[in-house]
Chain A
Amino acid sequence: MKQVPILKIDGITIGQSLAIMEYLEETRPTPRLLPQDPKKKAIVRMISDLIASGIQPIQNLSVLKQVGQENQMPWAQRAITSGFNALEQILQSTAGKYCVGDEVSMADVCLVPQVANAERFKVDLSPYPTISHINKALLALEAFQVSHPCRQPDTPAELRA
């Protein structure tokens, strides 16, 4: 697919971030990224898919290249706003401390990077208080910090934390 991420693990090569995370969940089950209850699990997956299929692919670099330089910002903003309008509404009934109840899940893992994309494309986040609140709580956790774009081996010097 000529895309990242790809994970080479246990002798196989997996693309597609959600497929990778589901494999990690099955083979390294603790701590859990998916609730045990099938109904809560479905909600976590729905939110993850909303972000990973409903928002990100539409503002992905390869798509942005096709809409022309001057259209990129409004295009990306539209994709994110449209998705966040729906997500904010959904989270109002599912969220506790995090996206679904009070345990960090795959939905939270998808949320934070998408909020970072929103900020990069200068999306006004004030219509999304639930998204913003959860994002802030998650960014305080170590896993979300060590993995942050500003702390990677390939982070350019001027963006490094």
Chain B
Amino acid sequence: MTGKPVLYSYFRSSCSWRVRIALALKGIDYEIVPINLIKDGGQQFSEEFQTLNPMKQVPILKIDGITIGQSLAIMEYLEETRPTPRLLPQDPKKKAIVRMISDLIASGIQPIQNLSVLKQVGQENQMPWAQRAITSGFNALEQILQSTAGKYCVGDEVSMADVCLVPQVANAERFKVDLSPYPTISHINKALLALEAFQVSHPCRQPDTPAELRA
């Protein structure tokens, strides 16, 4: 037992990537236990994992003697217990905007194009379904960012909103969403990908990244 936090993660899960980014931004050393969402019918359905997370989803973080699911709840806990560098602005109004953008992505877009939902719409419908969810959300997000963005989603400091944005853009690319209607999203995404925390946590650099996708 090293006492390090343990993250149950899938390389390509956008929700897992959010937590990996947050941990990297805060300089928190951790262990990864890869959970393959496809192999063996989905390792998240094993009895062992279900006990850890009844939602049968990644990410899960074991830290300070507790087990937390839900990426935003995990990040809020990290913010409270390891407050620097900040992921949330100090000003309550700016903080509300950061949370609103994070929720827009984490509740408004991602769950609808999540693997478990896609499985239900039928193979031939998956791409248009996912594209529709992402397009719908990005139409709103692009508009919001036009008034909130500086260098990043909200002003000039990296926040939880940025942590949610990059993995969602990666999902958009994976589902071949045309990003040209979203110049603000694209511009911010590019700036964030240049930062180390977004690189070390990238799906192409994880212990469970398949050889053909590895950076």
Option from B73, B104, B140 in Cβ contact (under 8 Å) with A49: B73
Name the interface size band of chain A: 35 or more
Q: Which of B81, B99, B117, B136 contacts A58 (CB 8 A)?
A: B117
Tell whether A58 pairs with B112 under 8 Å between CB atoms, given A38-B77, A53-B107.
yes
Interface class of chain B by DSSP: helix
Q: A residues 74-103 with Cβ under 8 Å of B? A: 75, 78, 82-83, 85-87, 89-90
Q: Contacts A26-B95, A41-B80 hold; do A57 and B108 have CB atoms under 8 A apart? A: yes
Residues of A within 8 A of B117 (CB): 58
A55 to B103, CA, bound (A): 14
> Given A14-B100, A18-B99, A45-B73, A52–B107 Cβ distance below 8 Å?
yes
* A125 is an interface residue with CB less than 8 A from chain B: no
Q: Select the residue from B55, B108, B140 with max chain A CB neighbours within 10 A.
A: B55
CA distance A58 to B110 in the complex (A): 10
B residues near A (Cβ < 8 Å) are 53-57, 64-66, 68-70, 72-74, 76-77, 80-81, 92-93, 95-97, 99-100, 102-104, 106-108, 110-112, 116-117, 120-121, 129, 132, 136-137, 140
Q: Which residues of A contact B (CB under 8 A)?
A: 1-3, 10-12, 14-16, 18-20, 22-23, 26-27, 38-39, 41-43, 45-46, 48-50, 52-54, 56-58, 62-63, 66-67, 75, 78, 82-83, 85-87, 89-90
List of 3 A-B pairs having minimum Cβ-Cβ separation, nearest first: A16-B103, A86-B54, A49-B70
